[in-house]
Structure 1
Amino acid sequence: MSKRTSDSKVKAPLSALAARRLRQQQQQQITAEPASGTGTPNDDSPVVTPGIEIAPTITRKSVPNSYPIDGQTTAGPSSKGSVAEIPGNQLGEKSDNLPRQLSNFTPTDDNYVYDSQNAEITVKLRRGESLVVQGEFRISVGSGSISICGAIVETSSSISVVAPASQALPVIECASKSKKRKVEKPPNRDGEYDAVFTIKSTRTGLSDLGKVCPRFDKIWKPPLTSTTTKLEGTESFTPILTSLQSTPILTVPPSWQSAITSLSSTKQSPKCIFIVGGKSVGKSTFGRYLLNNIVTSQTPSRTIIYLDVDPGQPSFTPPCALSLHRITRPIVTPSFATFGSTEVLRQHHIGYTSPREDPKYYLRCAADLIQEYRNLVQQLGEEHTLVVNTCGWIKGLGRELLQELVLICEPTDAVGLGDVDGVFAEILPTDKSIKKHLLEGAGSGASGNSNSNGVASGGAGGGGGGGGAQAFSPADLRTLQTVAYFHAVPKGTDADIAFDFDRHLTGMMPIVASYRGANKVIHGITVLDADVTADLAFTAINATVVSINLIKGDDKEHPILRYLEDVYGGDDNAAPFIASNQFDGTSGVLPAEGTEMIGLAIIRGVNEEKGQLQLLTPVSEAELNQRVEDGYKVVLSRGRDEMPVWLMWDWRGRGAEQRRRRGTGANGGGVDKAPYLDFVVGGEVAGKGAKEWKVRRNIMRRGQQRR
C-alpha cells in the first residue's frame, strides 16, 4: 500500500544561526548537570542516567544519535538491546523543553537482555525503578512481583497488556510488597533485584486497526522524538525511556492508592462500591485500578462483579449498553480491546449514549442488572465485591438518576472524584450507613496525564507523522470502540480475544436470517422511540446498527410477544414490525425484565422478496442457532447507535488510491461506488443526502414534552 501523505505536515526550515544557538543551549543543559554513570562515554555522546533528562544534539542529518550503555557507544543493532533515538523533526520542530523522562530505568547489559529469536526482553528492576512500554505484549514474572495499572503480578504469573497511544501508557513498577530476590550476580555489580520479568510480543490483530480506520493508524507508533530501547523492529512492543512529545503515562494521585488499598481489604466484606464523578475526572481509570487490585491482591485470587451503567463510554461493551460482568483476572487493556475478556452475565441495549433520552428505561435496565446480581449471589451462596461505574452526568436530572441508582444498588461505599460534596449531600442517606471516599480528580492531582479513561488528551501527534500523545474526543473513542467491536473474532478459550482487520466488513460473509416463514429466526423488528410506519420499517433499519435481543418463548406476558400475537396472530408470512408508538416510548416496547441483549449487528442488506436480512455481527451463527433451538425469540431493535463511516467504506478498496491521488470520489472516474455513501466530485455531492437537511421542530410547552 502506498504511503499516505494527507496527514503530513510542512516543516518550517531552521536557520544555521538558530540551529547553533539551540544546540548551545542544549549542551549547556547537559553540562550543568553532570551524569554519574559507571562507564566512560565518548566526548560527544550524552549519558543517560536515572533522574536526568538529556536533549539530543540537533544535526542536519536524519540519523539517530547513539546513546551509550555501560560506557559503550552502540550505533548498530545489538542482540542484547541498546538505547536508540527514533529520528524525527530534528530540523523542522524546535522544542522549548528537554525530553520528559517516562521510564526511571537505565538499561545495561545486566538488567536488560534482548532475545531476538523469541522476540522478548528480560528486565530486572530495583525498587523505585519503572518502565513504560507501548504496544501489545505479555509480561511473565520470574522473580519478585510487579505492579501495573493496579494489578500485582507475582512470581510464575503473567499478564497480557494492550497499550496504544490512544490511552495514557501504563507503568511497570516493583510491587510494594515485593521481596528482594537474589539473582545471578554479575562481575563487579550488585546482583540483588526486586523483580525479574520477561516481555514477549503478542499479536491480537489490533495493530492493523489503521487498515480499516486510518484515524487511528498511528496509535501503535512510539513518539517521533523519543529515547527507546532498540529492538529488531519485528516486535509488537517498544519500551520508551524519554520523549520530547507530550506522552501521557498512567499514574494516579496518592490519595487513590490509600483508598484502593482500603476498598480492597477483606475486613468489610462484601462491599458494593459506587463510583461518582463528573466528566474526565477518572472514574473508569479508578474502577480499572480498583478491580485489578481486588482480583490480584489476595491469595487465592478474588472475583469481582462489575456493573457498568455508563452508556457513553462503557468499559467492556460497545456504546449504548448497560452491562454486568464477572471478572476473575486483571485487565490492562483499553476499552476497545476488552471484548471477550470478561464473562458477560447480562446486558441491555438502551439505544442512546446518555440516559437523558429515556431515563425511565435506563433505571429499569439498571434495576434488572442488580436483580441479576442478587439472583447470582443467591444461586452461588456467596457474595462478591460489586463495583458500580456511573456516567459523568451529575447535574439536574443526572443527579436525580444517581439518587435512584443509590436506592437500587444499596452501596456500602461511595467514591467521589472531583468536587462532588454537593452531589453526595443529595444522593446519599444522612444516616452514615454508606462510607464516603472523597478523592481528587485525575486532572487535579498528581496525575494530570490522562482523563477519565486514561486517554491521551493532549500534545502533538494527533494528526502528524508519528505516535505519542494524540487528542481523541469521546466521539472518536466511541468510533474506535464500535469499529473494534465489529472486527472482533473469537480466539480459543480463557477469554482470549483476537481482531481481524485484514478484511473489511463489506467483504465479509454476512449471516442470512429469515424474518418470514416457518423457520424464521427474526421474530420482531422495532425502531426505538420513532414513529415509523410498517412500509418504511426496512428503509429505517437498513445500513444501521441494531441490537440483537432475546426473549424467552414461553414468556407469554412479555409485551412484545403479546403485541405480535395480537397484531399478526401467528402469521409467519407477515413482516414482524413492532411500532414503538403503540407503547410508552422505549420503556414499553423493550422491557428490561425478560429481555436480554447478546450483541450488536449491522443490517447489511434486506431481501424483502425472500424475507431475509443480512447481518454483520461478531455474534457467531452457532450461538444464534443455539439460542433459537433453546426456545428464545430474537428481536432486532434500532436505537441511535453511531455508524462510523469506516464500517461501510473500504478506503483501501479497488480505486481508493486513485481517488486519493485525484481528489475525486467513488462516483467519478469510473471507479466502483461504495454502498450508502456519496463522495465529492468536482466540488459537489450528488444523490440523496447531498444537501443540508433542515428540520423544523414544533414548539411545545414543557408539560407537553416527553419525559
Structure 2
Amino acid sequence: MSSGRLSAFAALNNSDSDHSDDDGIVGYTNDDDDLQVLEPLKLDLGLNQQQPQQPTPQQQQPIRHNPTIISNSKFKPTDDNIIYNDNYTIIGLKSMEYLMIRGQYELCIQRGAIKIDSITYHSNPNKFYKINASSLNSIPLIIATQVTSIDHTNDTKTKENEHLFHSDYKSVIKISNLFNGLESIGKLYPQLKNIYPNWSSNDDLLQQQQQQPMNEYEKLFFGYSFQLIINKSNYIATTILKTWQKQIDDLINQYLINLDTGKPFKVLIIGSKNSGKSTFLKLLLNELTTLVETLEIKVLDVDPGQTEYSNPDCISLSNHDSPIFGLYMPCESNSTKNEYIGFNTPQREPLNYIKKLKNLINELNEDSIVLINTPGWIKGFGIELLKEITNLITPTHLIYLTNNLTSNDETIENELLNNLKYDKLIKVQSFQLGNNNSTDIVKYSPAQIRNFKLLSYLHYDSNTKKYNFEPLISKSPLKISYFDSKMNTNDIINFNGICSISILDNGFNLNHLDIIECLECQIVAIISIELDEYLNLNEQLINSNLISMNENLPNLIKDSNILNDYPYDLLGLGLIHSVNTVENYINLYTPINMNSLKDKLETNSNKLVLIKGRSDLPIEEIMPRNILDLKNKNKENKKRKGKRTGDFDDCEVPYVSFSSNLGKGGKTSNIRRNIMRRAQQ
C-alpha cells in the first residue's frame, strides 16, 4: 500500500471519534445500539488478498411463519402433584405437561426423563442442572418426555415422593433453591429489580401481586429463589422452530462425519439483530456437549456490544463441555480468554478490533470445534467485518438466519454472501415475534443488559462464588502505586505498581494535566506485560516520543495501538475510585483475585498497565439510591424539625454535586436522543 493511501479501516481508526454519525460509518448508536444502515463501506486491510470462494447455498428458501409463543406452564398444581419443602419443591409431571420456572435453581430428575428445551435427560440422583432463568432472555422449558432407554434411568424413590411413582405421572423432578446474590441486583440498580424473583418481604410479594396477579399456589413460592409461572405472563419460553431443530440435527450429523474424516467443524452464525443468532448457537452448543460429555466446544464471541460469553466491552474465546440453560455468566468461568476492545462497537477502533480478533483465532487448533457468535450487522460496514472474520477463519458452515426474501433483500443478500468465504451455506428461518405476540413481552434495552453485565462482573467474588451488590463506594478500594517522571527508567525493574496508562481513541489529543479527570470514576482494563517485553516497549515509547511524563501524574501512552505489538495478558477490569497525586497511588475496585495480582506485583516479573476505553458506568454505582435517600432524609429532618439522623448531609458525596448554582454562564442541558432519519430506521 502506498504511503499516500490509507485503508478504510485505517481512515476510520484515525477519524475524530466525536463524528461517529458521519456518512459511511455504520454502528450501534450510543443510546440504544440500534443499527444505522448506510451505504456499504469498502475496506481494505490487506489481511488476505485471495478472492472469496464461490458459496454453495442450499436452494430451498425459508418460509416465514410466526412462532407459537409460550408464556406459562402447562401444569395445574394440586395438593397431590407438588410437594413444598423449606429449600426445594418436588413436582410430578404428567404426559405432555411442561413447566416455565423463573429464577435461579438446581434441577434433579428423580423419575423418568424430561426435556430441557430440546435435550432429553434421564433420572440420576447425582446429577444436578444449574439453571439461570432471568427475564433478560427466554426462560428454559422443562417438558415431561418418554424415556429413551430404561438403562439410562436411575430413579430415586423416597417416602416423600413415592405417591408420585404412579402411572399417572411420567416424570418427577426436584427443584432446589439457588441463592448466590445475583437476585439482589435490583437493590443497586432498580431498573433490573424484576429480572429474578426477589421476595425478601411481604411488601415485595404485594408489589409482585399488583404487577401480575398470582393464585394461591403461586404465592406458595414466596421465599424461594424461583417462581413457577402458572398463568399467562409477559415472559417468554425458549422457542425452538421446527426448521431449527432439523437444521441442528443435520449439523450434528455433519459434525460426526467431519469427526470420522478428520475435517474441522467451524460454524459461523450471522443474521440481523434479534433474529435468534444467540439462541440458535446455544441450542447447537447444548446438543454438541450432550452428544459427547468429554467434548470441548469453543465459542468465539465477537460482539462487544451485546456480549454473551465475554466480559463487558470484550471479545472472547471460551471453552464449554456442558450445556448452558438460561443466562450464561462469563465472570463465573475460568476457561475464557478475553480481549479488551474498550467500546461497545468495533467501529471506534476497527484496526484494534481486528488485531484482538486475530489474537483469539491464533489460539485455535486445526481440529478445534468452533461456534462463532457475531453482531447483528449484515449491511454496509458490517459486511466488511464479516468479510475479515471469514478471511481469518474460513467456516465449514455459514448459518444465515433470514426472513422471507423480497427482491430488495436479494440484492442485499447477494452483496453479503458473495463477499464471504465459507464451505457450505445453510439458510435458516429467523425468529421474529409477530406484532400480536410481542406487545406485552418483557423487554430490556441493550444499555440495560450491558449494565447488568458490567455490574454483575464488578460485584462478583471469585472466592465465595457469590455476588454482593452493596455499593462499591461503601468499601475500601485497593491502593496501587503508579510510576511517574520523578522515577528513573531503571527503577522500572524494581517497581511493583502501575507503570503507565493508555487511553483508547484519545491519547494524542489529551492534555496530560487533565488525566485525573479522565480516569476517576472510569472503567479500565488491567493488563500484565512480562518485564523484558515492557522494557522494550518503554524504550520504543521514549525513542518515538509516544509517552508523556509529568511529575506526580501517571505516565501516559499517547498511541494506544502500540500495545498491540507486544504480548500481554488481560487480568480483568476495574473501576478507578480516585487518584492521589500527592502520594502517587490509584484507588481501584476490581474483582480480580487479589492473591494472583499480589504475586505478579511482588515478583517484579510482570508490569501493570491500565487501558481506559469508553465503558458506560451506571449512575447507581457512583450515586447509590440508599445514599441519596439518606441525604434527602437528613436534609428534610433538618429543615422541618431541626433534627437529623447524622452528619451525612454536611459531607460531600463523591462525583456528584447537589448545588443548584451552576456558575456564571452555566445552564442545564437536556441530552438529545440520537434520532435517526426515516431511511435509517
Question: TM-score over 0.5 for the alignment?
Answer: yes
Partner of 1:339: 331
Counterpart-to-counterpart distance in 1, 2:666 and 2:357: 37
Q: How does 1:357-368 map to 2 (within 5 A)?
A: 357-368=348-359
Q: Tell me the CA shift for residue 616 of structure 1.
A: 0.6
1:274: Cα distance to partner? 0.4
The residue type equivalent to 1:249 in the other structure is: A
C-alpha contact 2:70 2:237 (8 A) present in aligned 1: no
Q: What one-letter code is carried by the residue in structure 2 that aligns with 1:652?
A: N
Across the two proteins, how many residue pairs are aligned to each other?
A: 554
Out of 554, 557, 579, the residue aligned to residue 606 of structure 1 is 579
Which residue is equivalent to 2:104? Answer: 136
Whole-Å separation in 2 of the counterparts to 1:689 and 1:632: 47
**Change beyond 3 A, Cα 1:556–1:605:** closer
Cα deviations across residues 372-394 of structure 1 (Å, max 9, x unaligned)? 123xx6xxxxx342111111121
Q: Name 2:676's counterpart in structure 1.
A: none
SS in 2 for 1:362: helix
- After TM superposition, the structure 1 = structure 2 runs for residues 341-490 of structure 1, keeping only pairs within 5 Å, are 341=333, 343-344=335-336, 346-374=337-365, 383-419=367-403, 425-426=414-415, 428=417, 434-443=423-432, 459=440, 469-490=441-462
Find the counterpart in structure 1 of residue 128 from structure 2: 158
SS in 2 for 1:590: helix
Contact 1:558 1:594 in 2 (8 A): no
Shift of 1:252: 2.3
Question: Which of 245, 251, 264 is equivalent to 1:263?
Answer: 251
Task: Tell whether 2:503 aligns with 1:527.
Answer: yes
C-alpha displacement at 1:108, in angstroms? 3.7
Q: Distance in 2 between matches of 1:527 and 1:165?
A: 35
1:605-654 deviation digits (Å, cap 9, x = unpaired): 10111110111111122121233437222111111111111111121127
Taking a change above 3 Å as real, the CA distance of residues 232 and 389 of structure 1, as seen in their structure-2 partners, is: closer
* Ranges in structure 1 where 5+ consecutive residues have no aligned partner: 1-98, 378-382, 450-456, 460-468, 696-707
Task: Specify the code of the residue in structure 1 equivalent to 2:402.
Answer: G
Q: Of residues 648, 652, 670 in structure 1, which corresponds to 2:626?
A: 652
Matched residue type, 2:656: L
How far, CA to CA, are the matches of 1:218 and 1:625 in structure 2? Answer: 38
Q: List per-residue Cα deviations over 1:572-602 (Å, max 9, x = no partner).
A: 987552343xx4xx4x233176133221111
Q: Which stretch shows the higher mean deviation, 408-417 or 426-435?
A: 426-435
Distance 2:431 2:436 in 1: 6
Displacement after TM superposition at 1:544 (Å):
0.8
1:478 maps to a residue whose letter is R
Pairwise CA RMSD of aligned residues?
A: 3.8
Relative contact order (C-alpha < 8 Å, sep 6+): which is higher?
2
Once the two structures are superposed, residues 386-418 of structure 1 have per-residue CA deviations (whole angstroms, 9 ceiling, x without a partner) of 111111121111111101101112111111112
CA contact (8 A) 2:631 2:649 kept: no
Equivalent residue number for residue 625 of structure 1: 598
- What is aligned with 1:52? none
More deviation in 141-150 or 230-239?
141-150
Aligned to 1:677, which of 656, 663, 667? 656
CA distance in structure 2 between the aligned counterparts of 1:327 and 1:417, rounded to whole angstroms: 24
CA distance in 1: counterparts of 2:546 and 2:383, whole angstroms? 42
Letter paired with 1:604: H
Report the Cα distance in structure 2 between the residues aligned to 1:205 and 1:510, rounded to whole angstroms.
21
Q: Provide the TM-score with structure 1 as the length reference.
A: 0.70
Q: Distance in 2 between matches of 1:620 and 1:318?
A: 15
Whether 2:300 is the aligned partner of 1:307: answer yes
Alignment partner, residue 506 of structure 1: 473
Deviation at 1:490, TM superposition (A): 1.1
Q: State the 1:341 CA deviation.
A: 3.3
**Alignment partner of 2:586: what SS?**
strand
Which residue in 2 is equivalent to 1:220? 196
SS of the counterpart of 1:305? Answer: strand
2:184 corresponds to: 208
- For the residues of structure 2 that align with 1:341 and 1:177, how far apart are their CA atoms? 32
CA 1:166–1:428: 2 relative to 1, 3 Å? closer
Moved more, 204-213 or 168-177: 168-177
Measure, in 1, the Cα distance between the counterparts of 2:637 and 2:667.
18
* Superposition pairs of residues 29-40 of structure 1, within 5 angstroms: none
Could you tell me how far apart the structure 2 residues matched to 1:360 and 1:271 are? 27
Question: What percent identity do the matched residue pairs reach?
Answer: 24
**In the alignment, is the contact (CA less than 8 A) between 1:350 and 1:639 conserved in 2?**
yes
- In the alignment, does 2:529 pair up with 1:551? yes
Maintained 8 Å contact 1:308/1:390: yes
In 2, are the aligned partners of 1:226 and 1:240 still within 8 Å (CA)? no
Partner of 1:231 in structure 2? 220
Distance (Å, rounded) in 1 between the aligned partners of 2:535 and 2:417: 36
The farther-off stretch of 635-644 and 280-289 is: 280-289
**More helix as a share of residues:** 2
Residue matched to 1:171: 141
Residue 111 (1) aligns with residue 81 (2): yes
TM-superposed CA distance for 1:489, in Å, is 0.9
CA contact (8 A) 2:221 2:228 kept: no
Quickly say closer, same or farther: Cα 1:146–1:565, change in 2 above 3 A. farther
Letter in 2 for 1:267: I
In 2, distance between residues paired with 1:188 and 1:471? Answer: 37
Helix, strand or coil: the match of 1:242?
coil
Letter in 2 for 1:408: L
Question: Residues of 2 paired with 1:166 and 1:662: CA distance?
Answer: 38
Q: Is the 8 A contact 2:378 2:416 kept in 1?
A: no
CA separation in 1, counterparts of 2:294 and 2:625?
A: 46
Distance 1:476 1:294 in 2: 31
**Alpha-carbon distance, 1:146 to partner:** 2.7
SS at 1:246 equivalent: coil
Write the deviation string for residues 428-454 of structure 1: whole angstroms up to 9, x where unpaired. Answer: 569995222211222158x997xxxxx
Q: 1:189 to 1:626 in 2, by over 3 A?
A: closer
Other structure's SS at 1:373 match: coil
In the TM superposition, what whole-angstrom CA distance separates every residue of 1:146-205 from its partner, at most 9, and x where no partner exists? Answer: 332455544322111122233332211246764577997988995264432210001010
- Give the conservation status (yes or no) of the 8 Å contact 2:303–2:374: yes
What's the TM-score once normalised by structure 2's chain length?
0.73
